[in-house]
Amino acid sequence: MSMKEILSKICGLACLGAAAFFSFSCAKSEGNSGNEDELRHLEAWIQVNHPGVKASGDGIYVLSDTKADGKTYGGENYVLFDYTVRSLDGKIQSTTSEAIAKQVGTYNASNYYGMRTFLAANEGVQVGILNMLEGMRVGETKTALIPSWLTGTKKRADAEAYFKHTQKDASSYIYELTLRDFTDDVVSREISQCTAYVHSVLDAQLDTVSYGFWYKKLAGKDTVSLPSDSTIYINYIGRTIPDGHVFDTNVADTAKFYGIYKSSRTYTPYSVTLAEEYANYSMDSGSSSSSYYSSSSSDMTSGFAHAISLMHPYERGTAVFISPFGYGSTGSGNSVPPYASLRFDIWLVDNPND
């Protein structure tokens, strides 16, 4: 994959990834404003809980702001942050914090907890979130009440124009954001991140195969190439980088160790049907249960398939690759976040049915 193709894939899917965040309050429709009652409710809530706080920007209420000395956000395309979202009664709606999830009893080992990346330079991000980001510095934590009419993504002329448009089925929420970083070049950031991971965690064992893709043979003496019309069997473990979150495996003991075991899933070596081009490889888990190696039941991500194409009989290897070779700007469910670089440990095994 060329640099141009990588950038195209990143940008082409970006709106989908950004829109997925905070989706519980983003449905919208044009129409007459029904926000007067909501405004009175919010102002009463402010008077009781944060007296003296006034609306700012397009109408958000900044409840607290812990300043930091990092660089100031100036409208860069990609923003990296931690967040927690609460309803006005304090109930946690969503969080990137593992500690908070455990505290409120919503923790799931299969879910990814940690910093998120989204594309801010489009109409796929809530107006209220963009208001919060204005002037923030890296390391700063800001908490704000975002009214329901600012949970949409369409930019309007001013605060009054937002207030006059109702967001269907939307609610007002309290957002706590911690700005971690920002960049105009998310691909280069992933490359730097993966390079550091390869050298620090894997002791520089991996070889650069292509831009944004590394692979290393760790075990196996066979040098015979796999026939393009053959079917092979594999086991694997998938991790996000750099935190090492194990999001998927077809090995039962490994799944149990990392707390992601599902009794409804069949844990057995998966069959991979090869082809002349690895883009045409397909994999069958032998089960209707979903897994995270692909976007459907038969198509593998290009990075996973590329790694297999480099392997030989009974080989064990490790591949590391940036998000355009994986799940791009959309991620995969709750387990793989947008713009996540991945590591896969893969080994070829015998047909379990023989």
Identify the pLDDT of residue 285: 78
Identify the pLDDT of residue 301: 93
Identify the pLDDT of residue 2: 53
**Stretch 232-259: mean pLDDT, rounded?**
96
Peptide bond into 324 cis (omega under 30): no
What is the pTM assigned to this prediction?
Answer: 0.86
Question: Could you tell me what percent of the chain has a pLDDT over 90?
Answer: 72
**Stretch 293-299: mean pLDDT, rounded?**
44
Q: How far apart are CA 302 and CA 324, in angstroms?
A: 9
Asked whether residue 232 carries a pLDDT value surpassing 80, the answer given is: yes
Phi, psi of 164 (to 5 degrees): -80, -10
Q: How far apart are CA 245 and CA 258, in angstroms?
A: 9
User: If you search the block for the tokens 């387990």, which residue do you land on?
Assistant: 335
Asked whether residue 121 carries a pLDDT value surpassing 80, the answer given is: no
Identify the pLDDT of residue 295: 36
Identify the pLDDT of residue 205: 77
Identify the pLDDT of residue 166: 83
Residues 321 and 211: beta-carbon distance below 8 Å: no
The Cβ of residue 230 has, within 10 Å, a number of other Cβ atoms equal to 11
**Stretch 19-39: mean pLDDT, rounded?**
58
**Stretch 218-246: mean pLDDT, rounded?**
91
User: If you search the block for the tokens 């750099």, which residue do you land on?
Assistant: 242
Residues 329 and 16: beta-carbon distance below 8 Å: yes
Full set of structural domains in the chain with CATH: 13-183 (3.10.50.40), 186-349 (3.10.50.40)
**Stretch 62-83: mean pLDDT, rounded?**
96
Average pLDDT, the chain: 87
Identify the weakest region by mean pLDDT among 127-141, 239-253, 296-310.
296-310
